[in-house]
Amino acid sequence: MSSSADIAEALDRAARSLNQHHDLDSTLKSIVDAAAVSLPGIGHAGITIAHKDGRFETLASSDPLVRDLDDLQYRLGEGPCLFAMEAEPVVTVNHLRHDQRWPRYVAPAVALGLKAQLGLQLHADDHKVGGLNLYSTETEVIEPEVQHLAELFAAHAALALGFVRRSEELTNALATRKTIGQAIGIVMERFGIDEDQAFGYLRRISSTTNVKLRDVAGDVVRQANQRHGDVPGPSAETGNGSPLHLS
């Protein structure tokens, strides 16, 4: 069994990977690799995220068997992995071959060599975002101590997902702010008005056309670029086909 020091070092490496490189893929891969090696009896680990459209995706896996078992559950729409993400925060499955909760999943999973499984729900910013999936082909019983250690890996995975999510939101917000600023400048120059008037003008267009302000601004900038710096005239249209009257 790996020592607490070994597990702590593995988790520290994962945290430093994210802080140094902001690289989600590398961070999650280091987490699942460490979990597969460090957690007694596990041997295989993966991280799944749930998309808003209902799809599931394996972001990181310690080996191909993880993806095979993950894909099997996605395809069947059942299994400990999905149940942990949707219903129970922690799902422990001992003696998998005798489990009756997911009848379509158990037989093919056992055929792949699976004996026990542990699924842990991942939360980022109070939102369910995915799951940590731990598979055992060595033992039919996952000890309670292993579950407690697994929760540490799940916490690090959730922190990584939350960190990147916030970083992406900040990047998108900054990009939107920049685009709106460019559009305001174009309108100010075109009509000889001040910043507040130009911003108010864009807001009125957004309100009357029922188009988001960032999309109105994006159209102004894009069309201005297409016209080599000149703001489009009354015939211009917003991204959804609504007229954009710059007058």
Rounded to whole angstroms, the Cα distance separating 57 from 84 reads 15
Range 48-53, long-range pairs (CB < 8 A, 24+ positions): 48/81, 48/85, 48/130, 48/131, 48/133, 49/129, 49/130, 49/161, 50/85, 50/128, 50/129, 50/130
- CATH C-level class of 170-226: mainly alpha
What's the confidence (pLDDT) of residue 24? 72
Q: What is the pLDDT along the chain (247 residues), one digit of tens a residue?
A: 455 556 666 665 655 555 554 567 777 888 899 899 889 999 999 999 888 888 999 989 999 999 999 999 999 999 999 999 998 999 999 999 999 999 999 999 999 999 999 999 998 766 778 899 999 999 999 999 999 889 988 888 888 777 666 555 556 666 778 888 888 889 998 888 998 888 888 888 888 888 888 888 888 888 888 875 444 443 334 444 344 545 4
What's the confidence (pLDDT) of residue 143? 93
What's the confidence (pLDDT) of residue 172? 66
What's the confidence (pLDDT) of residue 215? 87
What's the confidence (pLDDT) of residue 232? 41
Classified by CATH at the fold level, domain 4-167 comes out as Beta-Lactamase (3.30.450)
Tokens 């379509």 locate to: 104
What's the confidence (pLDDT) of residue 78? 96
Domain with CATH 1.10.10.10 in the chain: 170-226
Rounded to whole angstroms, the Cα distance separating 107 from 235 reads 63
What's the confidence (pLDDT) of residue 60? 92
Return all residues near 243 (Cβ < 8 A) that are at least 6 apart.
Answer: 209, 234, 235, 236, 237
What's the confidence (pLDDT) of residue 2? 53
What's the confidence (pLDDT) of residue 241? 39
CB 112 within 8 A of CB 65: yes
What predicted TM-score, i.e. pTM, was given to this entire model?
Answer: 0.64
DSSP states along 48-74: EEE-TTS-EEEEEESSHHHHHHHHHHH
